[in-house]
Structure 1
Amino acid sequence: MKKILFVCTGNTCRSSMAEGLFKDMLKKAKKENNIEVLSAGIFALPNQPASEQAIIVMRDENIDISKHRSKQLTSEMINDVDYIFAMTRGHKQAILQVDPSSDKKIFTLKEYIGESGDIADPYGQSVNVYKESLNEIKNALQKVLEKLDI
């Protein structure tokens, strides 16, 4: 079984939405038994809920992340997964500083699908900004699912 880890700053917005979305995509594709999906934050305060706006926009997708609790990224997580998808180049660089040997399995979400740029942080902003972030993540994840060929 492959393991995928989504990483952002606090694990309450982008990576928690990516985890929920990708699990849902895998389930709909009947591939949920092939991949374990995790998320963490580089500077996460452990055990925090997903942001209220993230819960709202995910509910609009019929995905419930209300039970999500943030996790701090650890070197064990880095070593234990097959792919790491960081939301920004800054996150990727921070992970590489902790574990330079992870360079073959870490990508920004957009880099993996041949695009440039980062997934902007919606933290503290309106539900509309969260929707934009969610749509950007969802579009990227659809391409990730195709590219992973699982």
Structure 2
Amino acid sequence: MAEHIIARELQQRGLHGEINVRSAGIAPYARDGALVSLDTRMVLRDIGIYLNDDATSTDLKRHPELLYEADLVIAMTEQQARDLLERFAVPKHLEVHTLRSFAGEAGDIDDPFEKGDLVFTQCREEITRLIPRIVDRLLGLD
């Protein structure tokens, strides 16, 4: 969800293609090629972001090379950030933050997976609120 919201923010600022954004799961249930959930599609559609019917996810456990291509990793929770650092050979140059910490706040954004419409909507609203600050920081505007 965050990948698509930040991509829209970049596009709205005329920066489409200037910053590459990728999403990859590390949860035990993350699978390469899994279709993006209907809940995710619906809450994104509600704010004008439409995903292709065949949009799929990426499993970082199967593609650790993505870490070597990245300059920054933003996790949703502190636990995800810790898991990433413990389970993967993270390059020394790579910064790992949570979405909230990179936006200047404390706390986690919990995974809404299998928690219903309201939780998905709250998650989307929180991500949408924080993304402009994240883009400002990436651009050195903070």
TM-score range, shorter chain: 0.7 to 0.9
Structure with the higher fraction of residues in helix conformation? 1
> Is 2:37 the partner of 1:51?
yes
Per-residue deviation, residues 39-81 of structure 1 (Å, max 9, x unmatched): 0000311111111111001001110124321111132111111
Superposed, 1:30-69 pairs within 5 Å as 30-43=14-27, 44-65=30-51, 66-69=53-56
Shift of 1:18: 0.5
CA distance in 1: counterparts of 2:33 and 2:94, whole angstroms: 29
Superposed, 1:112-123 pairs within 5 Å as 112-123=102-113
Q: Name 1:77's counterpart in structure 2.
A: 66
1:125 equivalent among 110, 115, 125: 115
Bigger drift between 123-132 and 99-108 goes to: 99-108
How many residue pairs align between the two structures?
Answer: 134
Q: Name 2:132's counterpart in structure 1.
A: 142
Structure with the higher fraction of residues in strand conformation? 1
Query: TM-score w.r.t. structure 2 length?
Result: 0.87
- 1:110/1:117 contact within 8 Å kept: yes
Shift of 1:85: 0.4
Unpaired segments ≥5 residues, structure 1: 1-16
More relative contact order, 1 or 2 (CA 8 Å, 6+ apart): 1
Q: Name 2:7's counterpart in structure 1.
A: 23
Greater Rg over alpha carbons, structure: 2
Runs (4+) of structure 1 moved beyond 2 Å? 65-68, 99-104
CA distance in 1: counterparts of 2:93 and 2:107, whole angstroms: 18
Query: Identity of aligned pairs, percent?
Result: 28
Indicate how the Cα distance of structure 1 residues 102 and 85 shifts in structure 2: closer, same or farther if over 3 A, else same. Answer: farther
- 1:78/1:102 contact within 8 Å kept: no
Give RMSD over aligned pairs. Answer: 1.6
Query: TM-score w.r.t. structure 1 length?
Result: 0.83
